[in-house]
Amino acid sequence: MTDIKLISLDVDGTLLTSTGELLDQNKSAIQEAIRNDIHVVLNSGKPPCALEGLIPELGLKDPISTMGGALILDITDPEDWNVIHLENLPDDILFKLAPLVEGLPLTIQIHTEQETYFYHEKDDEEYRAYFKGFLNKNAFRGGVFLDRSPLLEFDQDPSPIIKIVFHSDEDEPVDEAFQRIKGIENEIIMIGYSSPRTIDLSPRASGKKEAIEYLCGLYDIKPEQVLALGDYETDLDLINWAGVGAVMANAPEFVLAKAPRLAPENDQAGVAQMIEEFVLKGTQEP
């Protein structure tokens, strides 16, 4: 067996197939890694509610990194997850964003420690059906739908805002929002694409790499002892930092061009193949 002691797994486009399925090969490889005392960490841009189903199915024990590393949770007690690390956005962020995305047909997602809120600027029957399918594919459980834009007024939740997401079923409004918001990016806020039609606004101190660095500090693990897999731009810092970092072969071309190593596609159980090659090889009888 190699010296890998921690595996960091992006979820959509990496651990799960293009239809959101967890393949048996991936599940078996992860469970075998856990039996060999390897730390396995889900490291996703999703909120906690969208990861709940994977925790018991995989038998995970280690903390999970959610919302792009801004919220790390101890899942030891399945009934009561505890925050062990949190970064949040500035209190005035909604006020700054309101004029920048005005008039754009976007879905606005507000993520706090406790809840996820949705508001559709584009609100016709066809789009609602599309978005319901989007949520199902991404395993969102729950969430509150607002009838008024949270950028105009948001008093539903006293908790700090951890992450804001803008999404559409079209490229143009998302690209336009990115260009407008880019102007307020600074040392506190960062903006980036987490998928072709989704942009995330996160605390600059957060990130998937930063989350794994934090956990490695807790476990006394070195970067060269980390296997990190992902498929999008937000994964690249971590992938290039890890001892064994790889981009899934199904990633967009511009991400593949920056990959230090390629992993097989998510639909071909690429996670299992990487774990078997770099973590489990040599642990079983020939």
239-278 residue pLDDT tens: 999 999 999 999 999 999 999 999 999 999 999 999 999 9
Please check whether the two domains, 6-87+206-280 and 93-203, share a CATH topology.
no
How do residues 145-160 score in pLDDT, each as one tens digit? 999 999 999 988 989 9
Using only C-alpha atoms, the chain has a radius of gyration, in whole angstroms, of 19
Look at residue 199 and tell me whether its pLDDT is greater than 50.
yes
Q: Which residues pair with 118 in a beta bridge?
A: 109, 145
pLDDT digits (tens, 9 = 90+) for 14-57: 999 999 999 999 999 999 999 999 999 999 999 998 899 999 99
pLDDT of residue 29: 98
Q: Where are the domains of the chain?
A: 6-87+206-280, 93-203
Q: Which residue has the higher pLDDT, 224 or 143?
A: 224
Residue 127 contacts by C-beta under 8 Å, 6 or more apart in sequence?
120, 169
Q: How many other C-beta atoms are found inside a 10 Å radius of the C-beta of residue 114?
A: 9
H or E segment to which residue 127 belongs: helix 125-137
pLDDT band at 111 (very low <50, low <70, confident <90, very high): very high
What is the distance between the alpha carbons of residues 146 and 130, in angstroms, rounded to a whole number?
A: 17
Check residue 2 and give its pLDDT. 54
Any idea what DSSP says for residue 86?
E
Q: What is the CATH number that goes with domain 93-203?
A: 3.30.1240.10
pLDDT tens-digit series, residues 75-88? 999 889 999 999 99
CB-CB neighbours of 40 under 10 Å = 22
Residue 277 tokens, joined: 């090659």
String of DSSP letters for 231-270: -SGGGHHHHHHSSEEEEETTS-HHHHTT-SSEE--GGGTH
pTM of the entire predicted model: 0.87
DSSP letter, residue 223: G
Distance CA 164, CA 89 (A): 9
3-state secondary structure of 213: helix
Residue 282's pLDDT band, with cuts at 50, 70 and 90, is low
- Alpha-carbon gap, residue 261 to 270, rounded angstroms: 13
Bridge partners of 200, per DSSP, are: 165, 192
Mean pLDDT for 180-199 is 88
Per-residue model confidence as pLDDT tens digits over 211-224? 999 999 999 999 99
Q: For the chain, report the end-to-end CA distance as a whole number of angstroms.
A: 13
How confident is the model over 119-133, as pLDDT tens digits? 999 888 999 999 999
Instruction: Please give the CATH number for the structural domain made up of 6-87+206-280.
Output: 3.40.50.1000
* Cα–Cα nearest to 66, from 58, 55, 56, 77: 55
